[in-house]
Amino acid sequence: MNTSKFRAAVAAFALSAAVVTGTVAGTGTALAAPVVAPVHAAAPGVGELQSKLQLVLNTGASRSARANELEAGEAGLPLVDQVGTVMAAAPPSFRWEVQGPVAVDGDQLTAGLQTSIDGYEPWHFQLSWKQIDGTWKLTREAECTVAGIAMLPCTV
């Protein structure tokens, strides 16, 4: 085989391979980029939400772990630090618990929060969490609700 025929055969083969694999524009098949589904975590139950809120309010816990539970992240820590300090000074009869039902609407969920002090009727609040990067995080709005319960201004 002479050199020019050999080069033409190699070029034709390379072009055919490129068209088949979709690496050349034109009439060849194009390969689509892989579809990556967003990360979705199953909605947590009341017990898990209670644990998440306990972690957020625990001023002795890891700051990074606490920040990871907040939509506001690190920026939300000063406010929940204040709330945690107020709660630690509350009367021993002060109690709180996350209550159901847990209602999920896309990447948002809501659950109840009941606070009580002996001798008084319980108070009921609505808290919300938002799913961000596969983690359900306490929303800024809920952080403000919790701050209000502690008689603190919202700063997030």
Q: What are the start-end ranges of the E strands in 14-71? A: none
pTM of the model: 0.74
Instruction: Kindly report the CATH number that applies to the domain delimited by 46-150.
Output: 3.10.450
The predicted structure's pLDDT at residue 41:
72
Q: Quick one: pLDDT band at residue 30, thresholds 50, 70, 90?
A: very low
The region that residue 39 occupies, defined by phi over 0 for left and psi between -120 and 50 for alpha, beta otherwise, is beta
In this prediction, residues 131-150 reach a mean pLDDT of: 97
Query: Is 122:116 a contact under the CB 8 Å cutoff?
Result: yes
Query: Is 50:76 a contact under the CB 8 Å cutoff?
Result: no
Query: Is 93:85 a contact under the CB 8 Å cutoff?
Result: no
Domain ranges of the chain: 46-150
Name the one residue in this structure whose structure tokens are 């630690």.
88
Q: How many CB atoms lie within 10 A of CB 20?
A: 11
Dist. CA 24–CA 18, nearest whole Å: 6
